Amino acid sequence: MSDCTTKDILRQVKDGSLTIEDAMLQLKLEPFHDLGYAKVDHHRRLRQGVPEVIYGAGKTTEQMIGIVSDMKKAGQETILITRLSMEAAETINAVHPLCYNQAGRIAVIGDLPKPSGLGKIVIATGGTSDIPVAEEAAITAQALGNEVLRLYDVGVSGVHRLLSHMEYIMNASVIIAIAGMEGALASVVGGLADCPVIAVPTSVGYGASFHGLSALLSMLNSCASGISVVNIDNGFGAGYLASMINHMEAKA
Amino acid sequence: MSDCTTKDILRQVKDGSLTIEDAMLQLKLEPFHDLGYAKVDHHRRLRQGVPEVIYGAGKTTEQMIGIVSDMKKAGQETILITRLSMEAAETINAVHPLCYNQAGRIAVIGDLPKPSGLGKIVIATGGTSDIPVAEEAAITAQALGNEVLRLYDVGVSGVHRLLSHMEYIMNASVIIAIAGMEGALASVVGGLADCPVIAVPTSVGYGASFHGLSALLSMLNSCASGISVVNIDNGFGAGYLASMINHMEAKA
Amino acid sequence: MSDCTTKDILRQVKDGSLTIEDAMLQLKLEPFHDLGYAKVDHHRRLRQGVPEVIYGAGKTTEQMIGIVSDMKKAGQETILITRLSMEAAETINAVHPLCYNQAGRIAVIGDLPKPSGLGKIVIATGGTSDIPVAEEAAITAQALGNEVLRLYDVGVSGVHRLLSHMEYIMNASVIIAIAGMEGALASVVGGLADCPVIAVPTSVGYGASFHGLSALLSMLNSCASGISVVNIDNGFGAGYLASMINHMEAKA
Amino acid sequence: MSDCTTKDILRQVKDGSLTIEDAMLQLKLEPFHDLGYAKVDHHRRLRQGVPEVIYGAGKTTEQMIGIVSDMKKAGQETILITRLSMEAAETINAVHPLCYNQAGRIAVIGDLPKPSGLGKIVIATGGTSDIPVAEEAAITAQALGNEVLRLYDVGVSGVHRLLSHMEYIMNASVIIAIAGMEGALASVVGGLADCPVIAVPTSVGYGASFHGLSALLSMLNSCASGISVVNIDNGFGAGYLASMINHMEAKA
Amino acid sequence: MSDCTTKDILRQVKDGSLTIEDAMLQLKLEPFHDLGYAKVDHHRRLRQGVPEVIYGAGKTTEQMIGIVSDMKKAGQETILITRLSMEAAETINAVHPLCYNQAGRIAVIGDLPKPSGLGKIVIATGGTSDIPVAEEAAITAQALGNEVLRLYDVGVSGVHRLLSHMEYIMNASVIIAIAGMEGALASVVGGLADCPVIAVPTSVGYGASFHGLSALLSMLNSCASGISVVNIDNGFGAGYLASMINHMEAKA
Amino acid sequence: MSDCTTKDILRQVKDGSLTIEDAMLQLKLEPFHDLGYAKVDHHRRLRQGVPEVIYGAGKTTEQMIGIVSDMKKAGQETILITRLSMEAAETINAVHPLCYNQAGRIAVIGDLPKPSGLGKIVIATGGTSDIPVAEEAAITAQALGNEVLRLYDVGVSGVHRLLSHMEYIMNASVIIAIAGMEGALASVVGGLADCPVIAVPTSVGYGASFHGLSALLSMLNSCASGISVVNIDNGFGAGYLASMINHMEAKA
Amino acid sequence: MSDCTTKDILRQVKDGSLTIEDAMLQLKLEPFHDLGYAKVDHHRRLRQGVPEVIYGAGKTTEQMIGIVSDMKKAGQETILITRLSMEAAETINAVHPLCYNQAGRIAVIGDLPKPSGLGKIVIATGGTSDIPVAEEAAITAQALGNEVLRLYDVGVSGVHRLLSHMEYIMNASVIIAIAGMEGALASVVGGLADCPVIAVPTSVGYGASFHGLSALLSMLNSCASGISVVNIDNGFGAGYLASMINHMEAKA
Amino acid sequence: MSDCTTKDILRQVKDGSLTIEDAMLQLKLEPFHDLGYAKVDHHRRLRQGVPEVIYGAGKTTEQMIGIVSDMKKAGQETILITRLSMEAAETINAVHPLCYNQAGRIAVIGDLPKPSGLGKIVIATGGTSDIPVAEEAAITAQALGNEVLRLYDVGVSGVHRLLSHMEYIMNASVIIAIAGMEGALASVVGGLADCPVIAVPTSVGYGASFHGLSALLSMLNSCASGISVVNIDNGFGAGYLASMINHMEAKA
């Protein structure tokens, strides 16, 4: 519980400027306001001018238009909508002009913030089929104020493709390694890089890929250090976490 | 390939201070020296005075003693041995005095470095049975130069235990959330915190926990943002990644 | 075997008012009449004025209209049809006016009974995508004579949303906790509440949610006491069981 | 947040009988005291004279003796220890005399409370190999103040064994159906009974029983109404929930 | 190798009525003719007047019409086509009049043979959704010369439905028990009957039925004796095996 | 319900030779006596002189000695004990002399009955490691009155081994095909034989055999007709079912 | 790093015919040129006149037309497109005339090379439903310069079909064994043949075939020697590897 | 069927030098003699001076000594025993001196043959824990007449270790890639090499490696061409197949 706020309420009760009933109401709300405050504080730091995020899957176009209107009224400058179909994007665009990334099925309303992180986020994919997940991650990271470097189709079955971009790997602040099928990209990247690697298994593949299970298990078992894994096809989650890491700063 | 090094070699060849044969030998070694250099550079930053790590599982006591001797000769001040049995620890201790953490089955040879990270790493566990994995993570993080705050037995079936430590959660630089069984700790922590959360499923549980599978899937599916997952029982991996994130700095 | 019925038959045989052949016929039917009676007795207690249930999946509209007609003839006042498509509902509505809940794909023919249970049934969901399952549970419980309190979108990744409704949680008679993805809601609710919690995993999610398996395993492994689990997406089963518990009474 | 408590604090601040600092300290602790109070209230109702529970697995004998001593000092009359080995039971017995149920690997310290529930809890098992889980459930339920009726070895491959106990099934307040292998007992019981049925899959079996998975899936798929499922081999959880249901009472 | 055939060839070689080259050709073909003969012998016994079977799935209507034409030319009186869509059935019917069972998606061309087995084959299903699989089994068994008794919707969640048909169960020669979801029907039937029970898991169900896996595991784990299992939804296989058992006769 | 019995009771009530209370008691017990009678009748037919079976796993030596004593008193001539360890067998042998089959871990007390079936039961195994399961099946079948022919180590990776025994395959009444690893034996035998084939997957193998899962799935998917499957390693079940099929006879 | 090339560069630097800057550029590119060279060398050997391969799945018709145009410009005589729909094939055909294999969904642009391998590649399938995978393998192998012998529908449930083609099996250079369902073909072929066998599980089947998992596990567990397995339905991979083996030659 | 042999028999019958009965007996045995001959022929080619193989797991020391004695009498010069414990090796050594490889748990009796293949077999492992499987493969390959090159601990998390041995990779005739955990080694090697790669997943790892499942799936999903997979930990199978490929020669 945030001491200063509580202290204020108590002071006001003591000096009579606040009735006991109103104080009770405020105190009842306090803990979660406090929690919220903390979050907001954090968010403010992380998000100066950056998007609020709407998860588009399962929402109607009308719902999304309404949410965007509310956010705009609340002063939100940049808004991100993920898992958005082309059709829905077109309908929303008529009301709230947006920029739509078809591959990643993700839209941005408003301007992208200027990159503000510690360094660049490199997004590498094993194949071209992994690009939709990669673009979801890339636009998310950009919308959260990061410079993004795309390194697509550098899968380990042709490891020289990856090696010929060693300078990108070595200079990255965070790397997002996205791959389906055998998912080995994460391990190879993890072994080369000196920064956190976020592995994203994709459902790309057939047969014994079992809709991403193969890549998921492979990535979890990586013997390289500094790797962690998010859900299958979760480009947004990887982009969000990468941005969080790329904006690390000293804490008291 | 690191330009300046190569340029030096070429210059020396040009001015005759290096024979073609020696140049070839050096160039042959370069790429991986270069790779190694990059890694070492990173490691240097990350590891000033911190341990080299020995994975103890499957190594004989003799092998470990030998490796430690080599490392000491090479000037290594702090050495970490993971997955180390009590018996092996005692035998090694007779030759190389060490400090053994019985719960985490991890030993430190030499002094722990002074904390040098951006902030504190909070390590939370769902139950007391998760403590071995937590201690592996904690000692690893400490040995890599981090201040660690232990928050054990704060599982979500009594969420007030977790909430009563909100100030730790809110002030953490990185949080490692360790839980077996339903693995819900990661989601709750992820929803409260404003920093990266590394989730570690543990094999604690019985029946439908299927040796950690339940917690693993649960953590991968977390709908909180900023969470990623490492392998079941992989305390070391979580500690290592947490340290990496806690030592983030600006990159050109 | 219900003694009084059998005793009556025997008495009638003894005093000649029933032939041996008719008695045999009746006795042959007895055991299962008896079983049926027991059930009916139970149902009578549970169901005064409450619906008979038709599982709509896989039944044609004609079949359902026929069954409803039969039930109405038999005096049934309230009839519940689950897993009912909008189209089928419209067709049935032309013959038997009904009230259709589109989210829950469930219809009620006749009036809802007045709540008669021990207390309120709280239905909580992790997200908005879980609402279809929740509505199936809610309408079922209402149709069986329960007061229902909906607490939607209180997932654990924002635990304050749940905590801000603590008074509902604490005053519930039974709680139905419905969640997909990581399914952690059940554990958190189970740790807060002092009443039975029925957990319903949903197939909401993607990737490693494996169509509800993740939430299912998570809920089965809950370390909170007083929790049990029904099949994935089984809103009806949860509503039915919750009603049963909410109508518990002393048994000789 | 419990109004009256908070109101008192505020009143005391207003009239000066409490300093702001002390008030803040108390308010800081309030929310979780409140939560705790709620839980305790519940527990008081449920547990008048009934045991606190210690989960014995993974605890040393010394730890358990210490915990029991603390509980006794705190006035606890009955204490339950689950997953307790014979050897540990003997050691503890020397300090804290206890009554040990070898089959269920569960011990009771102090007297069992007088049954206080709505009716009887029937515990049925498919075979004799399921008895350990059944006894864990039975002793738990008895220790929580329930009358328990054991119906062992009434598996569905000889359904007459079950049917010959119909009067127990029909008169039960709650039934715990425990079975390994095909786990069909839950469905058959669920179809016969008019009360809640708690299904407990056991790891009894071999081959395609896959350590309880077969029974677990079977029970989750039961088409009988009023059934819910707990974790494989979780006798304690079933006994605890059964007691909770058997002590249902009207709630404002 | 069939002695008499080989002996004849050798005799013909010896007396010069067969050249060595022709003998070699015949001998080369012999072993598999012999195998074929054995099979045909068996089939002749089993199939007097009974159908050849065409697996319709994945075959074009033209292919099926052609195969039927060939069979008819070869004197086949009854022909069975399984996994046949309504549309394909109509097209074939125009050329080869057939009798189509819509539920079982199976067609018979020609007359059904008179029942010739040891007794009746009882086909029991847990629910009405299992009827398609049951009809595939039933028509198969009838086409192979068996009297079939259908006992549909006698699932174990209302065990009295099954018990009220005990005389059918007790008098069956072979029973085919077909059920999805928890698959418990096989065990209950197996415990009541004194004849072989062929269990057929079906893909009926949702959630944790995992497309028949739940029923399959349940049936494999049945603790009743005399039960064996065929593939999920394999009505044909069950009908075929049941017919084989129902036509057992003494073998020298 | 057996008419004649019920009629008798009713007659006795009518003529006063039975009180209503005693009649009620008898009627209450009737249905399941009737069930029992049916079973006994069946068993009598199948078991003239053949063993009652004790499942040894999980029973103490004392329990087994007691059960055998009871059975002997009841006039049982042959008794079979499955899953019996060598040590237990020796202890029981001192009280009840028995014949122990070490490979199959199965014992027979009393004389084996003379074979009485329709023909021979052939038991084929893929390898020598499958012999324990095969012997359990073989001794079971012999104890139930069948002539057994063992065909061990005829796995499909050397299909000529199997083909060189074609006369056994062709003359079998029932075949039990036992195999671990790829489990292909069942399909090959099923394609060659003209009799029912009972497939028994075994847990023999390593790696991707996953304790018998590979063989189990393979056998369930056999495209040969007339095959059904029992649980992994369930030699007893296969022997019992084979005997049942080998003793088929006409039923009214 | 290829010594001679590097030496040349160094020599040119030494004698001034190459500036340091140009040398650096060349050295930077060297390692992967070298890698590439090795690959190309290998490819040149393997592919004289043989196709480059385009994986058609997920590529637009336009993309494929463009790639083919580029390849033709680069002098490629034969081009293979896999996973190609009939519609796309027709569109491409209008621009680049091709030969389309409908079953295998694979097209060849240009002439097939003359067979150049050590012997014949035999492609055997268990059933007719496996033919699509087989044709993908066959056309791939032919396009890579191999003579292919098709042996379709020789599944093990009629092992004589396979045995009657023993001379093909015995004379094969490499065998590709393709089967769904129980996947036993690989083991039987592996036991008969004296050459490498590449097993391809297919997703053909239903129920417990689990989309090819059953065949996959079965093939991995084969106890015949000389067998290895590729991914489910991976006809291309099998054809490619078979060609590689069929073109083995002595290496220094 | 081998023509010349059959022709001889027929000629002898024709000219009376063979009775019809003896001819029949010989012909009956022919087909499988023929099969055997074919195999032996193959084996002769492959095995000149090379070992017969004994699978030691599950065999007693006495059995193995007996088999070896028989083989020696039959003139076998080199004998290989796999899965052999140190203890059993010592006992056998006393009778039949052998050379035991402790890591690979494999023994050779007699001299290793001189390498006779097309080139070298490279055996690469991801880590040191994979060495037991690698040694089983290596000794098998050597005993079958191959030169073996060991490349241990070159896992992809430090890809430079692998790249620094490119010349071995490029010059290999066949490569065996052995790895547990993420199993990515196969893909990277497959992408670099121009020869067949046999992938062996190992059960090395913990947690989500699920006893080799992770590596198995990863390897099956490799997008590099020319890779196939054998069972988890199947070093022998990989060594055997590699030898077969390394001894490929032209076939008529």
Q: To the nearest whole angstrom, how far is the Cα of A196 from the nearest Cα of chain H?
A: 14
User: In the predicted model, is pLDDT for residue D215 greater than 90?
Assistant: yes
Q: Which residue of G has its CA nearest to E232?
A: G207
Q: Which residues of E touch D221 (CB under 8 A)?
A: 180-183, 205, 207-209, 214-215
Which residues of G lie closer than 8 Å to B, measured between beta carbons? 1, 3, 6-7, 10-11, 13-14, 16, 20, 23-24, 27-28, 31
User: In the predicted model, is pLDDT for residue B49 greater than 60?
Assistant: no
Which one of E171, E220, E238 has the shortest CB-CB distance to F251? Answer: E171
Q: Between chains, do B205 and C221 touch, taking CB under 8 Å as contact?
A: yes
pLDDT at residue B26 in the model:
57
Mean pLDDT of D26-49: 40
Strand ranges (DSSP E) for C187-238? 197-201, 227-229
Q: Between chains, do B230 and A229 touch, taking CB under 8 Å as contact?
A: yes
Q: Between chains, do G206 and E232 touch, taking CB under 8 Å as contact?
A: yes
According to DSSP, the β-strands at G174-179 and G120-125 are parallel
With cut-offs at 50, 70 and 90, classify the pLDDT of residue B166.
confident
For G18-66, write each residue's pLDDT tens digit. Answer: 777 666 555 544 444 343 333 333 333 333 445 678 888 878 899 899 9
pLDDT at residue G47 in the model:
37
CA G126 to CA G153: how far, in whole Å?
5
Q: Which of D238-252, E215-229, F8-22 is least confident?
A: F8-22
Q: Which residues of F touch D164 (CB under 8 A)?
A: 29, 32
CA D217 to CA D198: how far, in whole Å?
14
User: In the predicted model, is pLDDT for residue H1 greater than 70?
Assistant: no
User: In the predicted model, is pLDDT for residue C74 greater than 70?
Assistant: yes
Q: Which two tokens stand for residue D179?
A: 């079975």
Q: Which residues of H touch E16 (CB under 8 A)?
A: 14
Closest to C148 in 3D by CA, of C229, C55, C80, C246: C246
List C-alpha distances in Å: B93 to B79, B111, B144: 13, 14, 21
- SS3 assignment, position D226: coil
CA E188 to CA E186: how far, in whole Å?
6
User: In the predicted model, is pLDDT for residue D181 greater than 80?
Assistant: yes
With cut-offs at 50, 70 and 90, classify the pLDDT of residue D32.
very low
CA C181 to CA C211: how far, in whole Å?
9
User: In the predicted model, is pLDDT for residue B214 greater than 90?
Assistant: yes
- Neighbouring CB atoms inside 10 A of D75's CB total 6
Chains E+A touching (3+ CB pairs under 8 Å): no
Amino acid at D67: I
Mean pLDDT of G220-233: 92
Closest to F139 in 3D by CA, of F117, F121, F165, F116: F121
DSSP assignment of chain E: --HHHHHHHHHHHHTTSS-HHHHHHHHHHHHHHHHHHHHHHHHHHHHTTPPEEEE-TT--HHHHHHHHHHHHHTT---EEEES--HHHHHHHHHHS--EEETTTTEEEESPPPPP-SSSEEEEEESSGGGHHHHHHHHHHHHHTT-EEEEE-S--GGGHHHHHTTHHHHHHEEEEEEEE-TT-THHHHHHHH-SS-EEEEE-----GGGGGGHHHHHHHHT--SSSEEE--TT-HHHHHHHHHHHHT-----
CA F3 to CA H75: how far, in whole Å?
78
Which has the higher per-residue pLDDT, H252 or D139? D139
Q: To the nearest whole angstrom, how far is the Cα of B206 from the nearest Cα of chain G?
A: 27
Closest to C125 in 3D by CA, of C154, C157, C148, C149: C154
Q: Between chains, do E32 and G206 touch, taking CB under 8 Å as contact?
A: no
Find all residues with CB under 8 Å of B228, minimum gap 6, and list them: A198, A228, A229, A230, A237, A238, A241, B196, B197, B198, B199
User: In the predicted model, is pLDDT for residue E39 greater than 60?
Assistant: no
Q: Between chains, do G10 and B11 touch, taking CB under 8 Å as contact?
A: no
With cut-offs at 50, 70 and 90, classify the pLDDT of residue H93.
very high
Q: Which two tokens stand for residue D181?
A: 């292998």
Q: Between chains, do E217 and D221 touch, taking CB under 8 Å as contact?
A: no
Mean pLDDT of G205-215: 92
Q: Which two tokens stand for residue C218?
A: 């998570």
Mean pLDDT of A58-63: 86
For residue H28, how far is the Cα from the chain centroid? 33
CA A77 to CA A110: how far, in whole Å?
6
Find all residues with CB under 8 Å of H184, minimum gap 6, and list them: A156, A182, A183, A184, A187, A188, A218, A222, H126, H155, H156, H218
User: In the predicted model, is pLDDT for residue A118 greater than 60?
Assistant: yes
**Intra-chain end-to-end CA distance of chain F, in Å:** 19
User: In the predicted model, is pLDDT for residue G14 greater than 90?
Assistant: no
Q: Which residues of H touch F164 (CB under 8 A)?
A: 32
User: In the predicted model, is pLDDT for residue B242 greater than 90?
Assistant: yes
pLDDT at residue A242 in the model:
97
CA F234 to CA F65: how far, in whole Å?
24
Q: Which of A242-246, C64-68, G20-24, G220-224 is least confident?
A: G20-24
Q: Which residues of D touch C172 (CB under 8 A)?
A: 251
pLDDT at residue C252 in the model:
63
Q: To the nearest whole angstrom, how far is the Cα of E200 from the nearest Cα of chain F?
A: 10
Per-residue pLDDT tens listing for chain F (252 residues): 234 456 677 778 888 888 876 776 555 444 443 443 333 333 333 334 456 788 888 788 998 999 899 888 877 888 999 999 999 999 999 999 999 999 999 999 998 889 999 999 999 999 889 999 999 999 999 999 999 999 998 888 777 778 878 888 888 999 999 999 988 899 999 988 889 999 999 999 999 999 999 999 999 999 788 999 999 999 999 999 999 999 999 886
Strand ranges (DSSP E) for F45-193? 52-55, 79-82, 99-101, 106-109, 120-125, 147-151, 174-179
User: In the predicted model, is pLDDT for residue C36 greater than 50?
Assistant: no
B211's torsion region: left (phi>0), alpha (psi -120 to 50) or beta?
left
For C204-219, write each residue's pLDDT tens digit. Answer: 999 999 999 999 999 9
For A171-206, write each residue's pLDDT tens digit. Answer: 899 999 999 988 889 999 998 888 999 999 999 999
Binding partners of B (≥3 Cβ pairs within 8 A): A, C, D, G, H
Which has the higher per-residue pLDDT, B42 or A111? A111
Determine which helix (DSSP H) or strand (DSSP E) holds F68, and give its type and residue range. Answer: helix F61-73
List C-alpha distances in Å: C202 to B187, B208, C183, C211, C219: 17, 17, 8, 8, 11
Q: Between chains, do C32 and E164 touch, taking CB under 8 Å as contact?
A: yes
Q: Between chains, do H208 and B233 touch, taking CB under 8 Å as contact?
A: no
- Neighbouring CB atoms inside 10 A of D118's CB total 18
pLDDT at residue C14 in the model:
81
- Give percent of chain B above pLDDT 70: 84
Mean pLDDT of C24-42: 42
pLDDT at residue B43 in the model:
37
Strand ranges (DSSP E) for A43-141? 52-55, 79-82, 99-101, 106-109, 120-125
CB pairs under 8 A between C and F: 41
Q: Between chains, do B229 and A229 touch, taking CB under 8 Å as contact?
A: yes
pLDDT at residue B164 in the model:
78
- Give percent of chain A above pLDDT 70: 84
With cut-offs at 50, 70 and 90, classify the pLDDT of residue H30.
very low
Mean pLDDT of H196-218: 94
With cut-offs at 50, 70 and 90, classify the pLDDT of residue C178.
very high
Greatest distance between any 2 Cα atoms in chain D: 75
For G62-101, write each residue's pLDDT tens digit. Answer: 989 998 998 888 788 889 999 999 999 999 999 999 999 9
Mean pLDDT of E50-57: 78
Q: Which residues of H touch B58 (CB under 8 A)?
A: 128-129
Most G CBs within 10 Å: which of H136, H170, H251, as the mutation test of the G interface?
Answer: H251
Q: Between chains, do F221 and G213 touch, taking CB under 8 Å as contact?
A: no
Q: Between chains, do C227 and D230 touch, taking CB under 8 Å as contact?
A: yes
Closest to F122 in 3D by CA, of F78, F186, F66: F186
Closest to H196 in 3D by CA, of H222, H216, H164: H222
Q: Between chains, do C188 and B188 touch, taking CB under 8 Å as contact?
A: yes
Q: Between chains, do F32 and D208 touch, taking CB under 8 Å as contact?
A: no
Q: Which of B147-151, E20-24, E108-112, G230-234 is least confident?
A: E20-24
F163's torsion region: left (phi>0), alpha (psi -120 to 50) or beta?
alpha
Which residues of C lie closer than 8 Å to A, measured between beta carbons? 128-129, 160, 163-164, 206-209
CB pairs under 8 A between A and G: 27
Q: Which residues of H touch F207 (CB under 8 A)?
A: 201, 203, 211-212, 216, 231-234
Chains D+B touching (3+ CB pairs under 8 Å): yes
CA H189 to CA A127: how far, in whole Å?
17
Q: Between chains, do E207 and C231 touch, taking CB under 8 Å as contact?
A: yes
For H104-145, write each residue's pLDDT tens digit. Answer: 999 999 988 899 999 999 999 998 889 999 999 999 999 999
pLDDT at residue A28 in the model:
47
Residues for chain D: how many in total?
A: 252
- SS3 assignment, position A106: strand
CA E148 to CA E139: how far, in whole Å?
9
With cut-offs at 50, 70 and 90, classify the pLDDT of residue C27.
low
CA D160 to CA F33: how far, in whole Å?
9
Residue appearing with tokens 């979890």:
A220
CA C192 to CA C188: how far, in whole Å?
6
CA C66 to CA C53: how far, in whole Å?
14
Which one of H172, H226, H229 has the shortest CB-CB distance to G244? Answer: H226
Residue appearing with tokens 């029983």:
D209
User: In the predicted model, is pLDDT for residue C94 greater than 50?
Assistant: yes
Q: Which span out of C5-14, C193-202, D160-169 was modeled with the highest average pLDDT?
A: C193-202
- Give percent of chain E above pLDDT 90: 50
Q: Between chains, do H31 and F128 touch, taking CB under 8 Å as contact?
A: no
Q: What is the 3-state secondary structure (H, E, C) of chain G?
A: CCHHHHHHHHHHHHCCCCCHHHHHHHHHHHHHHHHHHHHHHHHHHHHCCCCEEEECCCCCHHHHHHHHHHHHHCCCCCEEEECCCHHHHHHHHHHCCCEEECCCCEEEECCCCCCCCCCEEEEEECCHHHHHHHHHHHHHHHHCCCEEEEECCCCHHHHHHHHCCHHHHHHCCEEEEEECCCCCHHHHHHHHCCCCEEEEECCCCCHHHHHHHHHHHHHHCCCCCCEEECCCCCHHHHHHHHHHHHCCCCCC
Q: Which residue of B has its CA nearest to G15?
A: B14
Determine which helix (DSSP H) or strand (DSSP E) holds C122, and give its type and residue range. Answer: strand C120-125
CA E202 to CA E216: how far, in whole Å?
8
ipTM computed for the complex = 0.82
Q: Which residues of H touch E31 (CB under 8 A)?
A: 1, 31
Q: Between chains, do D203 and B208 touch, taking CB under 8 Å as contact?
A: no
Which one of E58, E231, E233 has the shortest CB-CB distance to G129? Answer: E58
Find all residues with CB under 8 Å of B20, minimum gap 6, and list them: B13, G7, G10, G11, G14
pLDDT at residue F33 in the model:
38
For C38-60, write each residue's pLDDT tens digit. Answer: 333 333 333 344 567 888 887 88
What CA dihedral angle connects H30, H33, H35 and H40, to 10 degrees? -150
Q: Between chains, do B182 and C219 touch, taking CB under 8 Å as contact?
A: yes
Q: Which residues of A touch H128 (CB under 8 A)?
A: none
Binding partners of A (≥3 Cβ pairs within 8 A): B, C, D, G, H
Q: Which residue of D has its CA nearest to E161?
A: D191
Q: Which of A78-92, A231-245, E222-236, H155-169 is least confident?
A: H155-169
Q: Which two tokens stand for residue B204?
A: 């604690």
Find all residues with CB under 8 Å of H40, minimum gap 6, and list them: none
Q: Which residues of C touch A53 (CB under 8 A)?
A: none
For residue F172, how far is the Cα from the chain centroid? 17
Mean pLDDT of A36-59: 54
Q: Between chains, do B207 and D231 touch, taking CB under 8 Å as contact?
A: yes
With cut-offs at 50, 70 and 90, classify the pLDDT of residue E176.
very high
Which has the higher per-residue pLDDT, F38 or G210? G210
Q: Which span out of A154-168, D163-177, E72-86, F90-104 was modeled with the highest average pLDDT?
A: F90-104
